[in-house]
Amino acid sequence: MEPVFVAPNWLSHPLVLYPTILIALATILVRVQSWRFGTTSKAQRRIVQADPIGIDSKASSRPSAKRLPGQWIPVDFKAPDPPPYPDWDVKSTKPLPYRPFKYGPNYFVTMGLRKGNFDEWIELDNEFLKFHAIKKERIEVRGDKCCKTAPEAMDAAIELLELLRDYLPKRYPSMFVATPVGMNNIVTGEQFNIVQRPLAEEPMRTIGRLLQDDIAIMMEGSDGQYYLKSGSILLPGFWKLEEKFNMNLSDIHTSGNVPQFREKLEKGMTNFFKRVMPDDIVLRNNYFMQVDDNLAWSDSIGPEDSDHTGWFTAQKNKVIENHWFRSERQSLRRLPRSGGVVFTIRTYFHPVTEIVKEPYIPGRLASALRSWGDDVANYKGRERYQAVLLEYLDREYQKQLDSGMITEDSQSPLKYPY
Ligand code: HEM
Ligand SMILES: *[C@@H]1O[C@H](CO)[C@@H](O)[C@H](O)[C@H]1NC(C)=O
């Protein structure tokens, strides 16, 4: 058998080897020290430490773990100003090519959180105007069904609006311009006043117009549980804000039959929400198949206002052109003043026939679909599309081999989630 890895000769020389081991140990130590769910960067810490009020700022960004459930002590963390998104243009910046599926043979249900970066909190691209038009129409037609805020989360929703007013004009200056009272979208011509009271509209509607993302704000109750208390859920695909509003995290997930929620997710999520602080930001990506091209609501599982939606109603084995790849890029961070936890859900939505042109994608997607256990396959409706989709993906995989685009034993150099 071939050895998998052979250490080069120079590495085994004591003068190289011992310092290498020492450095490796020191690195691990530093990592473990600063581990929470991720770490803050030096730049973020500097901001926290440059606290003008002069109180112990590190302590102020991490209020006592002994605070009473449901109470939050405001902290004065501010994320560093983001640099403009490189060369961002509403016509030419393509959606980021997230392809967050892994080769089988096994699929593991995990929280899948990774550390994020405050600069990359909100992602916008050349589908902004398409998303914006759909959202605008749904705000008019569906209104409170998609956007609402409980009184106890109103301060958090307004804090989020203020955070976006700080962030968007710096990150996307060719679209958003700050004004004394808020900001303007100079592409759509919208003007947003966030200081007048009462506000011109429910803040989650405004937030819906500013972003491609959907947004949920979770508030801690006096029982220590986190409740969905504010949302701008305009493009959810498979669920409805009205159904989940005021639910705790467990009910949100178990009512949707999220596979292995109790066994694999609940404990970690409870801990995460308890501990996440304003100077943390985490990301996760997921993916689904959809057998229609409706971004806002996948009507193959039934009409949006029906009480009996589900994959069981979907037509089986439609032609391949009806198969769409739907993937969410989610972020979580805590609002420093109100203590609300903001969940952003950015959907990326492409025909399968498009993404299969990318090297490795058909083979890896086919492998991932086959790796789902029965519970995950049921949740994601595989039985309704697997015959057509797998046959197609296998064929496209073979074409990539035949054309020399890929070889059987090579793998994409791109790292997860790409
Ligand atoms: C640590 C944070 C979280 C984790 C690890 C998590 C995990 C999951 C997982 C594994 C699923 C199944 C689909 C997928 O793979 O994404 C799911 C579905 C879902 N999650 Fe979460 N989630 C988190 C936070 C939240 C929050 C804050 C909300 C608030 C609205 C939420 C709402 C939902 C909904 C509505 C679904 C779809 C349920 C359905 O099919 O009816 N999740 N989540
Ligand atoms: C979530 O809410 C439900 C319904 O009110 C309740 O039965 C359940 O115990 C709650 N979950 C947790 C973890 O508190």
Span 25-35, pLDDT tens digits? 555 444 433 33
Note the pTM of the prediction, 2 decimals. Answer: 0.87
Q: Is the pLDDT of residue 190 over 80?
A: yes
Average pLDDT, the chain: 89
392 lines ligand 1 (CB under 6 A): no
What is the percent of the chain where pLDDT is above 90?
A: 84
Tell me the mean pLDDT in the region 111-132: 98
pLDDT, tens only, 87-112: 999 999 999 999 999 999 999 999 99
Q: Is the pLDDT of residue 311 over 80?
A: yes
HEC string for 261-323:
HHHHHHHHHHHHHHHCCCCCCEEEEEEEEECCCCCCECHHHCCCCCCCCCHHHCCCCCCHHHC
248 lines ligand 2 (CB under 6 A): yes
pLDDT at position 248 is 98
**Residue of 218, 258, 311 to mutate, ligand 1, most atoms within 8 A of C-beta:** 258
265 lines ligand 1 (CB under 6 A): yes
**Which class for 83: exposed (0-12), middle (13-18), buried (19 or more C-beta within 10 A)?**
exposed
> Looking at ligand 2, which atom is closest to the CA of residue 270?
13
15 CA to centre of ligand 2 in angstroms? 59
Give me the residue spans of the domains in the chain: 78-402
**Residue of 220, 225, 229 to mutate, ligand 2, most atoms within 8 A of C-beta:** 225
pLDDT at position 51 is 30
Peptide bond between residue 203 and the one before it cis (omega within 30 degrees of 0): no
Can you name the residues that pair with 177 across neighbouring β-strands?
A: 184
Higher pLDDT, 277 or 38: 277
Amino acid type, 156: A
Residue 35, Ramachandran bin (φ over 0: left; ψ between -120 and 50: alpha; else beta): beta
343 lines ligand 1 (CB under 6 A): yes
Closest C-alpha to ligand 2, atom 11: 250
> Looking at ligand 1, which atom is closest to the CA of residue 341?
27
Torsion of Cα atoms, 338 then 343 then 346 then 352, to 10°: 180
253 CA to centre of ligand 1 in angstroms? 6
Higher pLDDT, 15 or 397: 397
268 CA to centre of ligand 2 in angstroms? 16
pLDDT, tens only, 194-227: 999 999 999 999 999 999 999 999 999 999 999 9
pLDDT, tens only, 332-345: 999 999 999 999 99
Higher pLDDT, 24 or 413: 413
